A and B are shown apart, each in its own frame.
Chain A
Amino acid sequence: MASEFRARGAKQASPPATLPPPQYQSRYPPRDHHLDADERKALAQPGSLKQSQHAFGGLRLASSEWKLLAGIVVLALCVRLYHLGWPASVVFDEVHFGKFAGKYIHGRYYVDVHPPLAKLLITFMAVLGGFNGEFDFKEIGLPYPSDVPYVLMRSLPALMGVGVVPLAYLTLRGLDCRPATALLGSLFITFENGLITQSRLILLDSPLIFFTALTVFCWVGFSNENHQEPFTEDWWLWLALTGLSLGAVASCKWVGLFTIATIGVATMKQLWDLLGDLKVPPRVWMKHFLARALCLIVLPITVYMAVFEIHFMVLQNSGDGDGFMSAQFQQSLKGKGMHDTWADISLGSEITLRHVNTQGGYLHSHEHNYPTGSNQQQITLYPHKDGNNNWRILAGHSEGQPDHDFATEPIKWVSNLMSIRFEHISTKRRLHSHDVRPPVSDVDFQNEVSAYGFPGFVGDANDNWIVEIEYGDSHDKHSSGRLRTLGTVFRLRHALQGCYLFSHKVKLPEWGFEQQEVTCNKNAVKANSLWYIETNEHPQLGENDEKVNYRRPSFLSRFLELNHVMWTTNAGLTDRHAFDSRPESWLTLKRGINFWVRDHRHVYLIGNPVIWWLSTAAVVTYLLARGLLVLRAKRQYKDLNNSFIVKYDQICGFLTIGWFIHYFPFFIMSRQLFLHHYFPALYFAILLTAAIFDLATSSFKPKIRLQVAGVLIVAAVWTWWHFSPLTYAGEWTRGKCDAAKWRKTWDFSW
């Protein structure tokens, strides 16, 4: 439809036929019904045609505006950096992100649910400040020793928080809003207590919001270029910047995926419009499409992967994140390497058996019995190397097990469908299963697995397991026919019960030392009943026999594995937290988060209620107005032919979609959520507030508009001041604190 209006508008505004046609299409159709005060003023001035020149990113800033912008930045610096060193102890999630900086410095591998970019930047600041990584950020309230450059570390999020302010100003200007509007929007960002609190601490949200704002700004610039003239150098520059920035958002936190979705939706809208523009030939359309695919898909993925490459390069040593990763992955970490081990498995081999699908580790037994069922010795999975993981493979003879001397017996390889037994080396008991329910998964298709036997007992048929080879390694051709260390993946079927040796992510209670449960499952999911042999020794194998080891995983497989682990860990964060909240409570600022309390001082994350509530009201206003427009259009009112309405509908629609995409997906997440997850959406909502202000005051004289903006700004600054003791952990009287509880659900004064 847009093209229709453009065509009609162009007809009215087109110059006499003698003049050359206009060089570019204006972003919005000329306002045929409406001229606001600014335009009247601008038209009255000589040289108003200057506007028609190509502007970089569509930004037309007067030189006085740059001075204004500089002033705003200085103000934001004061607001964000004031007493940055206080509280001089660990606050809230600095526990995690400070600790990670230490791990990077020592290169010790860790696993966290967030991508590494923001943490790497914080680490960079820590290194600049000479942090040695010894401080462990153990708990909230722990005072910082003098050798921890925590102020410098905090200054990174703080400076990025400052950066959001001019970005908001320029984005609003790029969206064709007036300077007064941009001033209002950027000051709202400056004085938003929640954004201030979050950016003054070693947290990831400030970099996230900064890159989100940067992306939006670049995208607006690109859209303006696109309307002026596509495929210019500037056009490519803005597009590439958008892509780089998108990659950075996603590399800070996965919430950045919502920013990608926002830009994705806007791109699809652009392409859809281009598709409907019959003046654009298919070849050019394809060029449009490929350029965007290159810059907005390929480029961000490259950035994201590059950040992980740096992450892996820094974290070279084994650390407390090892246990999350596969054995192959761990092989790539220093201090976790395994010596080469013999490849051929035969009767009499002393082996360790590892579960494929979980990181539970090795088949394990120890001198403790089950308190339930058969009361026989426990079988578990244990993640660490230990002598109790060692088993010897024996032949499965139902009539008894003669004592072999494997050092002299002829070697007999373990082939598919062979019946074998496993003898636990240190306790001499054998892996055993029977028709007894296991202790935790007490259901009728699960059997208990135990270690059973005593000196002189030759064992019984319940010790027999049948090897069923599932698949071998393509590099080792023997491995699909007989057992080979590391190469063969197989299942173990109990000869009598028909069940499969099985393990899953279920922990035994304290009596089993919280190790992972092992059962014999008649309906085993295949993935959880697969095993392989990790180490192997045999008295007859010597130095000259074939040895194997894990292959060092490629970057891509490590990258994919880590992302998979992050995903499952993230989805598993479902425990309740005392200050978690659900998305519906964010709109009304129902409750904040207690970050830090000490000596009657308090850091409590809460937004600036005036700004916050105004932003929510702006969203509701736009949605209602838009709904009304749709209904009116259905009854044939011609509102949408009014270019003035169309212009603001496009601005507000873009911002509202951004808000929606950064907000709504949280409803379907079941993990624990916090108020600060709303901040990216809040950024869009505040810009929307400004845009609606621009619309509402468009018929005002500039001076009056500035005065209205001034009143709103004063209200915002006053509330900021009012709640600042919570933001800066300042001094407050009991009475003032109680009086500041505007809502009963704000729980900052106990």
Chain B
Amino acid sequence: METLRFSWIIAGALFVMALALRFYKINHPDQVVFDEVHFGKFAAYYILREYYFDVHPPFAKLLFGLVGWFVGFDGKFDFANIGDSYSIHQVPFVGMRAFPAFLGSATVPIVFWIMKESGYPTAIAAFSAALVLFDNAHVAQTRLILLDAALVFFMALSLLAYIKFRKLRYHEFSPAWWGWLFATGTFLACTLGCKMVGLFTFLTVGIAVLVDLWQLLDVRKGLSIEQFYRHFAARALGLIVWPAIVYLSFFWAHFKVLKFSGTGDSFMSPAFQETLAGNELLLNSQEIRYYDTITLKHKDTKVFLHSHEELYPLRYEDGRISSQGQQVTGYPHNDTNNFWQIIPTKALPATGRGRIVRHKDTIQLLHAKTQSYLLTHDVASPLMPTNQEFTTWYPDEENSRYADTLFTVDVLEANEGDPWKSKSGHFRLVHVPTKVCLWTHAKALPDWAYKQQEINGNKNPAERTATWFVEDIIGDETGEDLRGRTVKVEEKKVKSRNFFKKFWELQSLMLAHNAGLTASHPYATGPINWPFLISGISFWTENDKKQQVYFIGNVASWWACSLSLAVILGVMTTDAIARRRAINPIPDDIRNRLLNNAGFFVIAWACHYFPFFLMSRQLFIHHYLPAHIASALVAGSVMNFIVTEAIDFPVSHASATAPARRYPRTHTDIGSKAIAFLLGYAGLLFGLFLYIAPLTYGTPGLEGHAVNRRRLLNTWTLHFQAKEHESIVAEDAHVSDLRPLAILT
């Protein structure tokens, strides 16, 4: 029964069952469900090759794009809302859903194989696999166009590859050893390439590697320091350098595919945008010349630099005193008071390129409507005593304040002599005498300035939020047509940019936006709820047939997994205390297996679970799926510990150089009673799975009382529940609470 051939048969059978459960009615619902809104859309963008921005790394989405292309999706459907019909728009959605369903199915035999490789009997390994096979949450998540199927698949593969590598520890530096080391690195990179959660898988393997290295460092292992360094370097190469290369290659492909301008342009810097064909900046960016009239816009708050005839009040509410000069404010709407003319401070040639404004040129800005010059001086601004006030100055005979009207244009990321361009030329305007820069923040001035935004001078001349750009060139002194001023529009070439710069920009934006996803969502839950399956997520509803897809796990699976975690922690604590009193309740060989193997699974679970407690972004129960896989592995180990008195030993591949075994060779025999129990439990899993299945597959529709019966915990927020009191009509689903996760706001 424990032959390799039999294991393969079981693995095959598990795979076939998983396929059956995940492909069952995969064409239902033929509508956009939950986050397919996002990930379907991204696949379409890859097919259209239009640039988009998202917080997740591109690997899984690239695969979706590839699959979509393969099954003949033309990218013309926009996945705008949950509930939009696929069949009307002829989207080959079944093909696209088949891909995650396939990966999700493959995860089941991988779980089985992890357990087999760890030296557990086939029945135990099949038990772990069944916890995943019959889990409604995994089924629901993997038969939709979502990233988690790929994430979980590669996460399980990484664990498997690492265990294979570890078992070859007495064959160090052999080809197989190197092979599994690099396989681990590759799968880790793929996991990370799906979602940033892959970092937790890195953490898991990282901890295991550190423990391993720590043991190798022990002098009793007999390694010289040089040999130890070789071990160290090999792991650094296979698990850090190589994954980094693989991960970067995903981004390389991402940039190669997305070469046209798209919805993601505006997230990126101007230099990045100019690498995208058809980008607005690339088309409409013009060189700015002296005496042009322009509008200046603040990059972060999107207000125009504005001035009007009203003056600052002499005395503010807090008793401070102003210059009583003309107000300069930030104003979000188009207005002729936003027009400023660029006045040179040097002699200009009559025509030609000498009239172009360049980086580091010193200019004056003349307010077109009131013919006064922009000025700042050492007077505190209305709202911030630490910042300087901006006002305007009407020139007089003596030119008394000329020096205070001089500003330097500091174009960001520009070199000496580069021209200042509209749209693309992000710049800071630095005051020459006082070195403050033109700055604004989202604070409104009081009524005397019509609640417009305050503009002031920030004393940090390198302030990052003091970035402005020229929104438009309104006209030059003659009113000549602006077209053809620089180079012909048609001739504009897409610029190239260093890959690493592009990668770095995108990666930091992804992390920043990911941390910024704090908006509330009706189905967001805290991590503490997840292991107990307190509540799920409503993915999709259909009012007429009373159908719904509700993401929730199989209670028999999740609670068993959580319980086994509690059991192993209890057992290990008890053992530690008993050992302190020189009592050894668990034989050494079994204890070693528990520590080294089940301990690894517990670490995998902890690494994929606890970091979520530190995150302040919105979290959902499907973030627990990788941790659930790890806890299913723990459940297998614990089950093995309970039903047998022994372990399979050894599991590592023996070699001539290996030290003598510490314990005799042993075999487990789990006995027919245990197998009957496991089969019975699998039956329970399957039964509960079927019971909740209408919520998982979205079909058949359920009447109110049937829904009520399936509400196993009263915290599950199902739709179409019947009320206990007949006087009230059964509640209809409010489609408004079905929302995809906020990717960007």
Contacts and interface: CB of A to CB of B under 8 A. Distances in A.
B731 interface: yes
Interface in B717-744: 725, 727-728, 731-732, 734, 736-737
A64 interface: no
B217 A634 contact: yes
Contact of A275 (B581, B734, B736): B581
Contacts of A275: 577, 580-581
A445 B580 contact: no
B524 to A, nearest CB: 11
B582 interface: yes
Nearest to A418: B727
B734 A522 contact: yes
Given A417-B728, A634-B218, A278 B734 contact: no
A523 B522 CA distance: 7
A635 interface: yes
A699 B219 CA distance: 32
Contact of B219 (A278, A522, A636): A636
Contacts of A416: 725
B581 A635 contact: no
Given A498-B731, A523-B522, A636-B219, A445 B582 contact: no
Interface string B202-222: 000000000000100111100
Contacts of B727: 417
Interface string A484-518: 00000000000000100000000000000000000
B725 A417 contact: yes
Interface string A243-280: 00000000000000000000000000000100110100
A523 B219 CA distance: 62
Nearest to B220: A636
Interface in B578-624: 580-582, 614
Given A523-B522, A636-B220, A498 B734 contact: yes
A72 B737 CA distance: 70
A444 interface: yes
Interface bracket on A: 10 to 19
B226 to A, nearest CB: 13
B283 to A, nearest CB: 35
Contacts of B732: 498
Contacts of A522: 734, 736-737
- Of the listed residues A498, A523, A635, the one surrounded by the most CB atoms of chain B closer than 10 A to its CB is A523
Interface in B476-524: 522
A750 to B, nearest CB: 11
A636 B223 CA distance: 12
Nearest to A524: B522
Contacts of B214: 634
Interface in A264-318: 272, 275-276, 278, 282
A214 B220 CA distance: 46
A79 B731 CA distance: 74
Contacts of A635: 217, 219
A525 to B, nearest CB: 9
B580 A276 contact: yes
Contacts of A278: 581-582
B736 A445 contact: yes
Contacts of B725: 416-417
B539 to A, nearest CB: 16
Nearest to B520: A443
Interface in B354-402: none
Chain B, interface size category, equals 10 to 19
Contacts of A272: 580
A444 B521 CA distance: 11
Interface string A441-452: 000110000000
Interface in A444-470: 444-445, 466
Interface in A405-430: 416-417
Contact of A444 (B220, B581, B731, B736): B736
Contacts of B220: 636
A416 B724 CA distance: 13
Contacts of B218: 634
A445 B577 contact: no
A444 B737 CA distance: 8
A634 B218 CA distance: 5
Interface in A226-256: none
A269 to B, nearest CB: 13
Nearest to B523: A523
Contacts of B737: 445, 522-523
B376 to A, nearest CB: 21
A360 to B, nearest CB: 19
A145 B219 CA distance: 74
A380 B737 CA distance: 25
A279 to B, nearest CB: 11
A389 to B, nearest CB: 29
Nearest to B521: A523
B277 to A, nearest CB: 37
A634 B577 contact: no
Contacts of A668: 614
Interface string B40-54: 000000000000000
A746 B218 CA distance: 48
Nearest to B221: A634
Interface string A631-645: 100111000000000
Contacts of B734: 445, 498, 522-523
Nearest to A635: B219
Nearest to B217: A634
A634 B582 contact: no
A674 B580 CA distance: 43
A634 B228 CA distance: 13
A636 B218 CA distance: 8
A634 B219 contact: yes
B515 to A, nearest CB: 13
A327 B265 CA distance: 53
B139 to A, nearest CB: 26
A275 B580 CA distance: 6
A689 to B, nearest CB: 31
Nearest to A285: B581
Nearest to A274: B580
Contacts of B219: 634-636
Contacts of B728: 417, 466
B337 to A, nearest CB: 25
Interface in B171-220: 214, 217-220
Contacts of B731: 498
Nearest to B614: A668
B597 to A, nearest CB: 23
Nearest to B616: A670
A636 B225 CA distance: 13
B494 to A, nearest CB: 40
Nearest to B727: A417
A445 B522 contact: yes
A554 B582 CA distance: 49
A432 to B, nearest CB: 20
Contacts of B736: 444-445, 522
A436 B419 CA distance: 50
Contacts of B580: 272, 275-276
A417 B723 CA distance: 12
Contacts of A276: 580-581
Given A276-B581, A445-B522, A466-B728, 13 more contacts: A272-B580, A275-B580, A276-B580, A417-B727, A444-B736, A445-B734, A445-B736, A522-B734, A634-B217, A634-B218, A634-B219, A635-B217, A635-B219
21 contacts: A272-B580, A275-B577, A275-B580, A275-B581, A276-B581, A416-B725, A417-B725, A417-B727, A444-B736, A445-B736, A498-B731, A498-B732, A498-B734, A522-B736, A522-B737, A631-B217, A634-B214, A634-B217, A635-B217, A636-B219, A668-B614
Interface of B: 214, 217-220, 522, 577, 580-582, 614, 725, 727-728, 731-732, 734, 736-737
For the complex of A and B, the 8 pairs showing the least CB-CB separation, nearest first, are A636-B219, A523-B522, A275-B580, A444-B736, A276-B580, A635-B219, A634-B217, A522-B734
